Every structure is written in C-alpha cells, then in structure tokens.
C-alpha cells in the first residue's frame, strides 16, 4: 500500500520534472507591476502570444512583485525585454550598458499625474498646484509604488517644488499604496485623503464606471512628461540571432489589436529613444532617487 503510493509519487515527480524542462532559448519579458495583477497577467499573456507569433520564438511573460524586481530581472539577464515606467527604465538602462528604449505608447510622450482627493476634504480642483498649498498641508497622502514615475517621482517633485519641503513634512502621513489602482481605491475609501496616480489608470477606470465620483475627484493635473516604454537588452541579437532587436521593435510598433491596446490602455506604440527620458533622469537625480 505504502510502497504503491511512493511509487506513484516518484513517477509523478519524474513526469513533472520533464514537463518543466523548457527549451533553452526562451525570450522572456516582464513589466512593472503598476496595476492589479489579474489585469497585468491578462494583458501580458496577450502580448506574449502576439510576440511569439510575430517573432516565431518561444516568448514568456514573468509577473514580478515590485518595480525593483523588474529592473533586477532585466539587469540580471533573466528577462531581455521589459515594459518599464519612465524612472524604472532610466534605472534599468543605466545598469545595463547597451540597452535601449525601443517603443513607447502614443500617450507616453505626454504623460500626466493626477492628484486626487476624497471629497470629504472639501478640496476643490485648481489650475495651479500652489493654489492648494493651504488645503493640502497636514492631510494624509499616498503615493503609488516607491519606484513609480507617475505615482512617486513626478508628484514628489512637484510637492517639493511647490512646498519647498519633503512630503513627510508637508503631510501628516505619507504612504506607498503599491500601485495606481490601489491608490485610487484607498483615496476613494478615505483611508488616505489625498493621492497621486497615473492619469491613464484614472481615465480607464472612470470610463469603465469603476469610480465613485461622489467620493473622489481630480484636484490637480501635472504638466506633461515622458513615461512608459519598452526597453530591450543590447545583447539580444547575439543570443537570438542577427536582427532580433529590430524584429521585436517592429512587432511592437505594428501591434494593432484593439483589445490588447485597450488593455494597456494605449492607442498604439511609436518609436522611442534613450534620450527621450533625459528629463526623468534629471528629476530623479534632483530628488535623490538616483545617485
């Protein structure tokens, strides 16, 4: 009886091992976890299928738990391509010489951060951030992830610029929600009074009817800055064959599937270059996130 069970157990373990030994050269990519995981997995499995078809190679998406984990996986060559935010892209390209931003969303040329507030605070929308200084002082505030461009870097930059102080000194409590969807939910629920998030996430959730507009509203929009982009390692041609990088770039630029684009949400992808992200690098250096 016991022997039988053990035999079954051993057989199944052998089967499982063989099943897990995938082919050697799989093209692996990741993305920063900026939104709810279910949505990300759905979106990037679609991208993996699309790329695998276009490139005629095995393509795999790996979900990660933090922005830094995405950057580390890219740097460690465990993934060769990543959908980064402005800041994580700059960090990654600094760490991997030869890596390149190859494509960005149409909307990423001029991205924005929305500051949102729970309506119980009574804060009214303003054109200039400086009009809100008195009302914002002493409120509770949440960023998105610590490594986010639209959820951390840019809002922190404007807070420091306008108040001349660190966020911890302006607000009574400063938190990091983890991602944009969570920032929205936390401010909507009143756990934090004010928050800052990616404007695309706001608009998409609003369009899908997922926001209680009686509970939360946009109080200020930042000026535009460059954000998300696809970044690829410089050594992919050596590993996957001559011209591979070009083919990936072309495949991304030709991505036209409306459902897939809608899931980002982007209206399409356009070429990008490392230099496009200079403003982000300078901002990050200014507030001490990059040394």
Interface residue list for other proteins (CB under 8 A): 2, 6, 9-10, 13-14, 16-17, 20-22, 28, 36-38, 62, 64-69, 71-73, 75-79, 91, 95, 118, 120, 140, 145-147, 173, 175-176, 178-179, 181-182, 185-186, 189-192, 289-291
Given a contact cutoff of 8 angstroms between Cβ atoms, the answer to whether 280 and 87 are in contact is yes
Separation between Cα atoms, residue 74 and residue 92, nearest integer Å: 7
Least distance (Å) from other proteins to the CB of residue 29? Answer: 12
Separation between Cα atoms, residue 1 and residue 19, nearest integer Å: 27
63 or 265: CB nearest other proteins:
63
Distances from the Cα of 73 to the Cαs of 66, 69, 79, 80, 92, in angstroms? 11, 6, 6, 8, 10
- Tell me the sheet residues that pair with 81: 29, 232
Least distance (Å) from other proteins to the CB of residue 80? Answer: 11
Least distance (Å) from other proteins to the CB of residue 109? Answer: 26
Structure-token match 């599937």, residue found = 257
Least distance (Å) from other proteins to the CB of residue 130? Answer: 27
* 245: its two tokens: 């990088």
Give phi and psi for 92, each to the nearest 5. Answer: -65, -45
Structure-token match 């899931």, residue found = 263
CA 103 vs. chain centroid, Å, equals 15
Least distance (Å) from other proteins to the CB of residue 46? Answer: 16
3 or 259: CB nearest other proteins:
3
Least distance (Å) from other proteins to the CB of residue 44? Answer: 14
Least distance (Å) from other proteins to the CB of residue 111? Answer: 20
* 125: its two tokens: 């929308």
Given a contact cutoff of 8 angstroms between Cβ atoms, the answer to whether 247 and 193 are in contact is no
166 or 256: CB nearest other proteins:
166
Given a contact cutoff of 8 angstroms between Cβ atoms, the answer to whether 268 and 109 are in contact is no
192 or 244: CB nearest other proteins:
192
38 or 128: CB nearest other proteins:
38
Residue 121: which of 201, 195, 210 has the closest Cα? 195
236 or 255: CB nearest other proteins:
236
* Strand 113-118, strand 59-61: pairing: unpaired
77 or 273: CB nearest other proteins:
77
């Amino acid at each position: 009886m016991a022997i039988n069970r053990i035999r079954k157990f051993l057989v199944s373990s052998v089967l499982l091992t063989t099943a897990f030994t995938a082919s050697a050269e799989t093209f692996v990519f990741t993305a920063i976890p900026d939104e709810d995981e279910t949505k990300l997995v759905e979106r990037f499995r679609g991208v993996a299928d699309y790329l695998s078809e276009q490139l005629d190679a095995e393509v795999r998406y790996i979900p990660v738990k933090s922005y830094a984990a995405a950057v580390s996986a890219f740097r460690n060559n465990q993934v060769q391509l990543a959908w980064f935010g402005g800041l994580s892209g700059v960090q990654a390209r600094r760490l991997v010489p030869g890596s390149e931003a190859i494509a960005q969303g149409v909307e990423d040329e001029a991205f924005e951060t929305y500051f949102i507030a729970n309506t119980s605070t009574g804060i009214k929308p303003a054109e200039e951030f400086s009009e809100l200084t008195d009302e914002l002082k002493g409120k509770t505030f949440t960023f998105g992830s610590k490594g986010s461009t639209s959820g951390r870097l840019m809002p922190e930059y404007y807070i420091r610029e306008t108040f001349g102080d660190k966020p911890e000194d302006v607000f009574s409590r400063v938190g990091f929600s983890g991602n944009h969807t969570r920032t929205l939910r936390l401010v909507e629920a009143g756990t934090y009074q004010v928050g800052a998030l990616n404007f695309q996430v706001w608009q998409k959730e609003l369009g899908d009817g997922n926001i209680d507009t009686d509970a939360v509203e946009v109080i200020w929009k930042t000026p535009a800055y460059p954000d998300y982009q696809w970044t690829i390692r410089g050594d992919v041609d050596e590993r996957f064959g001559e011209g591979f990088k070009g083919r990936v770039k072309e495949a991304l630029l030709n991505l036209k599937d409306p459902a897939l684009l809608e899931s980002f949400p982007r209206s399409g992808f356009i070429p990008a270059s490392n230099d496009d992200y200079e403003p982000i690098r300078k901002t990050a250096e200014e507030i001490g996130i990059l040394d």
